[in-house]
Amino acid sequence: MKRILSYFALRYLRFFAKAHLLKIKLIQKIKGKKLIIVGITGSAGKTSCLLACQAALGPQFKIKTNSHGNSETGIPLSILDLKMNNYSPFGWLKIFILCPIQFIFNWKTYQIFLVEMGIDSQYSPKNMDYLLSIIKPDIGIFLNVSSVHQQNFNSLDQIAFEKAKMINLSPIGIVNLNDPLVKKYSHPKKLINISKIKINIPKFALPHAYQDTLSAAIDLSKLIGLTESETITNLQKYLCLPESRSSLLDGIKNSVIIDSSYNSSPLACIEMLTLLHSFPSPHLVVLGDMRELGDSTIIEHQKIYRQALKSADKIISVGPLTQKYFGPKAQKFLYWWQAADYLKQNLPPQSTILIKGSQNTIFLEELIKTILKNPSDSSKLCRQSPHWLKLKEKFRQSAIV
């Protein structure tokens, strides 16, 4: 019964989302303008790329994004300007009532729709084919392929093949040809290789992979009519990444915290560990488990440990996976509060501390709170809403018991 209801709910959402998007296109056409839909995919950096494109184009164009969700439910809800507060039966009933109301009464238009397109499987509705049945981009951006969500795929090639469907259906594809799997599976009608332009963004410690993200935003802007200099100015002035994505914070004992605690994947973690070399020593890393890696869980955690040995003077790990697969030179803990106590007691003055881990049960942002120079900076950390704070406290109490 639940499966039947889910099928109906998804089709209902898709119907009104497609109808609403068609309405926007028609309104724009009547105005003598065209709605440009830009799809963004990849294993890492999708949200950052979306925000970069928004910052680059925002001053000159009216932009809409799907910042509240990139999935089979998130994309149609974003199109309809609806947000699901919870997935209870009452929540779904409210959405069902609001869908036709939004279609009838919401007449807001925009020139560019930036759509982050995330997949978790090769099977509907969590695959790219289903997302493409909702929305078909005019321009696609394909950043990279790594083992995120590999537990639902048989290989990295299968992930690349699935993600590339969006690029290959788009008339124009902006792709990272330095990634061999992106190159192998991307065959759009018009292909643009992501340019390599180095840009410094204040208040953020951006690894090399972010240059692809920022360069993709520049390539998109040039396609749409901006100059490179205009785009770079917009990026430096307006780009603001979400909380805990490579932000720099002041820590106790004159330390610098590189807060990348929002999430972690093999590609992104390696990039951040490499970036650590460019900061003053001593170097410390606090690394949490990486989730949803499937059969590559062991090998990817071992790779991260080996890179951490090269990048850091001290390694602290959090979670059962790092505890099991990291080597003997790491100080290992199951929970963030245990690692926080150790870190406070063993933090050398003027250190640079990189903190990165997945979210579920790891929550390294809570560790960061304990070493902030200014406690008020906790507002700059991820997952600080009452919902998340309550969930984390509940988890802590259950673990202590």
Which CATH code fits 247-400? 3.90.190.20
201 within 8 A of 235, measured Cβ to Cβ: yes
- For residue 150, pLDDT beyond 90: no
Global pTM value: 0.81
Closest Cα to residue 317, out of 282, 362, 369, 371?
A: 362
Kindly calculate the radius of gyration of the chain based on its CA atoms and give it in whole angstroms.
Answer: 22
| Nearest-10 crossing angle of helices 89-105, 2-30 | 20
Q: Give the mean pLDDT of 108-136.
A: 96
Q: Give the pLDDT score at 149.
A: 67
Q: What are the tens digits of pLDDT across the range 28-73?
A: 999 999 999 999 999 888 988 999 999 999 999 999 999 778 999 9
Q: Give the mean pLDDT of 119-128.
A: 94
1.10.1660.10, 3.30.470.20, 3.30.360.10, 3.40.1190.10: which CATH number matches 2-238?
A: 3.40.1190.10
For the record, the structure tokens of 51 come out as 């925000």
* Percentage of residues of the chain with pLDDT beyond 90: 82
**Confidence tier at 103 by pLDDT (50, 70, 90):** very high
Can you give the residue ranges of every domain in the chain? Answer: 2-238, 247-400
Residue 256 DSSP SS3: strand
How far apart CA 401 and CA 192 sit, in angstroms, is 55
Amino acid residing at 222? K
In angstroms, the Cα distances linking 120 to 70, 123, 128, 166, 184 are 11, 9, 9, 14, 21
Q: Give the pLDDT score at 359.
A: 84
For the record, the structure tokens of 391 come out as 């969930």
Q: Give the mean pLDDT of 333-347.
A: 97
**Fold equal for 2-238 and 247-400:** no
Q: What residues are paired with 259 via a beta bridge?
A: 247, 355
102 within 8 A of 20, measured Cβ to Cβ: yes
For the record, the structure tokens of 373 come out as 């120079």
Q: Concatenate the DSSP letters of all residues of 104-161 into one string.
A: HH-----SEEEEE---S-SSTTSSHHHHHHH---SEEEE----STTGGGSS-HHHHHH
Amino acid residing at 139? I
In angstroms, the Cα distances linking 61 to 154, 217, 240, 241 are 41, 14, 18, 20
Amino acid residing at 352? T
295 within 8 A of 150, measured Cβ to Cβ: yes
Q: Give the pLDDT score at 162.
A: 97
Q: What residues are paired with 115 via a beta bridge?
A: 39
Q: What are the tens digits of pLDDT across the range 188-204?
A: 999 999 988 888 887 88
How far apart CA 328 and CA 218 sit, in angstroms, is 44
- For residue 292, pLDDT beyond 90: no
What does the angle CA 121 – CA 126 – CA 127 come to, to the nearest 5 degrees? Answer: 65
User: How many angstroms from the chain centroid is the CA of residue 91?
Assistant: 25
